[in-house]
Chains A and B, each alone.
Chain A
Amino acid sequence: MSTATFEDVRTQAEQRLEKNLKIKSMIIDRLGLDAEAEVVSDNQPLFGRGLEMDSLDTLEIVVMINNEYDVLISDDDFEAFGSINALVDFIEAREV
């Protein structure tokens, strides 16, 4: 059993922030949103207030995530769209 060092934890946190930022940029590019990735918060809702995504946008994101990470999101996985953090959690749990 190994114990994570402070350095390990910091590297992990940095990687996660980088991934969140990458996914925000991908969503903004794909949907042509008028927003900067840096100002979208990780816990901001994707629907309604927040990024104001609709069902068509959601399918665009499902296709994008499948192409980029080979992760399938289906009708039952609505929790994946709670926020950027929820989406990245979902991807990380299923990524090969």
Chain B
Amino acid sequence: MTTAIAPARAAAGKEKPKTFAYSSDDIKRMLPHRWPMLMIDRAYDVVPGVSGRGVKSVSVNEPFFAGHYPDHSIMPGVMIVEAMAQLVAVVYVAELLEAPTPAEGDPSGSVGYLGSISSMKFSRLVVPGDQLTLEAKLGQKLGGLRSVSVRASVGTELAAAGSLIVTTERKG
């Protein structure tokens, strides 16, 4: 189900963490989201429980473009945040999945909720044809809460960056 894209190797005396890549089909086994709310097409450079990158290709067929806006298609900022949050979920579900003894049951059941959009700055419009490169770095945790730094770019241009808090379990 997963492919190691870089074998763990010792670089300058420091062990490089093993990274994983996940296809769209893999991601559907990791997240409970489905069309039209599955906002991540691929994940790569995933260090389980630590960080990862992902891709969201933005097509004119996205349902939100029908109304946002009829004559001027712009990806809503909150949908960019949703794509970032889904990459975060992939990174922490990967930790359960890639553990030496993976937990039993459906891993997508452990995907929690967005707790806070603590800060977010949008620096570029995202329009049909753009490919969003998503990045997530998990930070400190406290109980079932986890702080994360996230960014999204199109090519070399930053589209959005900020910090979120997510819950890593499903509790009201």
Contact = CB atoms under 8 A, between A and B. Distances in A.
Q: Is the interface of B mostly helix, strand, loop or mixed?
A: strand
Interface in B129-168: 139-143, 145-147, 163, 165
B118 interface: yes
B128 interface: no
A13 to B, nearest CB: 31
Contacts, number: 33
B142 to A, nearest CB: 5
Interface in A61-85: 62-63, 66, 72-75
B114 to A, nearest CB: 11
Nearest to A77: B142
B140 A60 contact: no
Nearest to B144: A55
Secondary structure dominating the interface of A: helix
A77 to B, nearest CB: 9
Contacts of A74: 142
A82 B147 CA distance: 22
Interface residues of B, number: 13
A56 B147 CA distance: 9
Contacts of A41: none
A25 interface: no
A66 B139 CA distance: 11
Contacts of A63: 139-140, 147, 163
B116 interface: yes
B165 A60 contact: yes
Contacts of A73: 142
A58 B146 CA distance: 11
Contacts of A55: 142-143, 145
Of A58, A59, A66, A75, which is in contact with the most chain B CB atoms at under 10 Å from its CB? A59
Contact of B143 (A60, A66, A75): A75
Interface of B: 115-116, 118, 139-143, 145-147, 163, 165
Given A60-B147, A63-B140, 6 more contacts: A55-B142, A59-B140, A59-B147, A60-B118, A63-B147, A75-B142
